Amino acid sequence: SQNYKNMFDPSTRFMRGRLENGDWIKPFNPQYPYYEYMYREANAWQVSFFAPHDMKGLIELYGGPKGFESKLDSLFTVPWNPKHIARNIETMIGQYCHGNQPDHEAPFAYTFIGKPEKTQKVLDNILNNLYGIGEEGLALSGMDDAGEMSAWYVMSALGLYTFSATDPEYLVTAPLFDEVKWTSSTGKILTIKKPGKGRGITSIKVNGKVNEGYFVPHDLFKNGGTVEVITK
């Protein structure tokens, strides 16, 4: 689970492919997509923020929160080079590609450095502009492998995202709806409320009590309950 640290090149601040003797693969172009430099369906930008099981360790590789924030900002602002050819690159935000799955966790990473407002800004852009596209308003923003592209929208619109699939908890963001009721297979109901119109979270309440942090447990889906997202 810690081997990702061996793939991090501090001189470029990217995750990079290595040869058996430990040398970095050269030449190296962090924008070149898809299958070069030991990446799969992604480039260096799109794989360099993925360690959902150890975000604290990942942030430390970048020198701490400020260095991590700077690099993450660049993911969404460094212009995409259209000369490179790859599939599902129609929906780019800088180097971030929502048309394919490898970097779908990246918008949520700001939350781990205390900048949830930046997470929300990127999410709102994606939710409002990169779905329901095309002449009939039905198209997704790229490949829907195993339904992930659709599921990403559903969970992000609910305001509960499965950031790390191995952890029984959900990262809370501002939902698109004022109220959602989710009925489990056992008949239990989880109610998600956002009484205000703002998009910046000021607090989260679980069953009426102020929640510590931005994660809520999976037991809410199993046992029912209420998540209230207070915004400004």
DSSP tally for the chain: helices H, then strands E: 6, 12
Q: Are residues 38 and 108 in the same domain?
A: yes
Domain boundary among 94, 129, 158: 158
Average pLDDT, the chain: 92
Q: Are residues 80 and 186 in the same domain?
A: no
Domain boundary among 129, 158, 187: 158
Q: Are residues 185 and 149 in the same domain?
A: no
- pLDDT-derived band at 80 (thresholds 50, 70, 90) equals confident
CA 232 remoteness from chain centre? 22
Domain boundary among 158, 178, 203: 158
**Is residue 173 over pLDDT 80?**
yes
- pLDDT-derived band at 186 (thresholds 50, 70, 90) equals confident
Q: Are residues 152 and 211 in the same domain?
A: no
Q: Are residues 211 and 142 in the same domain?
A: no
pLDDT of amino acid 85:
59
Instruction: Give the residue numbers spanning the domain of 199.
Output: 167-232
Contacts of 223 (CB under 8 A, 6+ apart): 188
Q: Are residues 49 and 126 in the same domain?
A: yes
- We report the CATH number of the domain holding residue 104 as 1.20.1610
- We report the CATH number of the domain holding residue 226 as 3.30.2080.10
Q: Are residues 180 and 149 in the same domain?
A: no
Domain count, the chain: 2
Q: Are residues 121 and 178 in the same domain?
A: no
Task: Give 79-132 as a 3 state SS string.
Answer: CCCCCCCCCCCCCEECCEECCCCCCCCHHHHHHHHCCHHHHHHHHHHHHHHCCC
Spatial contact of 152 and 171, defined as CB atoms under 8 Å apart: no
Token pair 């790859």: residue: 86
- pLDDT-derived band at 21 (thresholds 50, 70, 90) equals very high
Q: Are residues 13 and 64 in the same domain?
A: yes
Q: Are residues 95 and 46 in the same domain?
A: yes
Q: Are residues 71 and 134 in the same domain?
A: yes
- pLDDT-derived band at 139 (thresholds 50, 70, 90) equals low
